[in-house]
């Protein structure tokens, strides 16, 4: 008789929806303030270098200084803390909701932000605005 409760619970579980998702076929939306891959708006950036200075994991490299400088972001070193975006005096960095960033080729995890073109691609590419 003691097992009646157990049996009832087991039967109830059979008809319940699973709490897990069939990732990657199903996804939950990320929370509003989620910190994914940071991206740079080079139209706003003045090349002060503060983001590179405050980055705790050395994921940002400045190429030159000032309005002609370029920025390299090494996603494989980034821990998505958001410190760069917090510190930027020009609000040039946005923490996106992009989180599926794993890969086999570290070379593809470098994002270069150059000036002068609006080309925006992924990988060993140029992302400029």
Residues in contact with ligand SF4 by the rule CB under 6 A: 38, 40, 45-51, 55-57, 59-60, 78-84, 88, 90, 92-93
CB 30, min distance to ligand SF4, A: 16
* 8/67 with CB nearer ligand SF4: 67
CB 63, min distance to ligand SF4, A: 11
CB 31, min distance to ligand SF4, A: 17
* 55/109 with CB nearer ligand SF4: 55
Q: Can you give the chain as a three-state secondary structure string?
A: CCHHHHHHHHHHHHHCCCCCCCCCCCCCCCCCCCCCCEEECCCCCCCCCHHHHHCCCCCEEEECCHHHCEEEEECCCCCCCCHHHHHCCCCCEEECCCCCCCCCCHHHHEEEECCCCCCECCCCCEECC
* 82/123 with CB nearer ligand SF4: 82
Structure tokens that stand for 12 in this block: 């109830």
* 85/123 with CB nearer ligand SF4: 85
Asked if the bond preceding 24 is cis, omega within 30° of 0, the reply is yes
CB 24, min distance to ligand SF4, A: 24
């Amino acid at each position: 008789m003691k097992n009646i409760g157990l049996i009832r619970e087991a039967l109830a579980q059979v008809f319940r929806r699973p709490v897990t998702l069939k990732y990657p076929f199903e996804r939950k939306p990320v929370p509003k303030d989620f910190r994914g891959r940071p991206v740079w708006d080079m139209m706003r950036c003045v090349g002060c270098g503060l983001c590179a200075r405050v980055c705790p994991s050395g994921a940002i490299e400045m190429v030159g200084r000032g309005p002609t400088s370029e920025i390299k972001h090494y996603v494989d070193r980034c821990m998505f803390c958001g410190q760069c975006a917090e510190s930027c005096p020009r609000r040039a960095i946005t923490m996106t909701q992009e989180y599926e960033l794993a890969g086999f080729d570290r070379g593809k995890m470098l994002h270069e932000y150059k000036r002068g073109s609006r080309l925006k691609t992924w990988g060993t590419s140029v992302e400029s605005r």
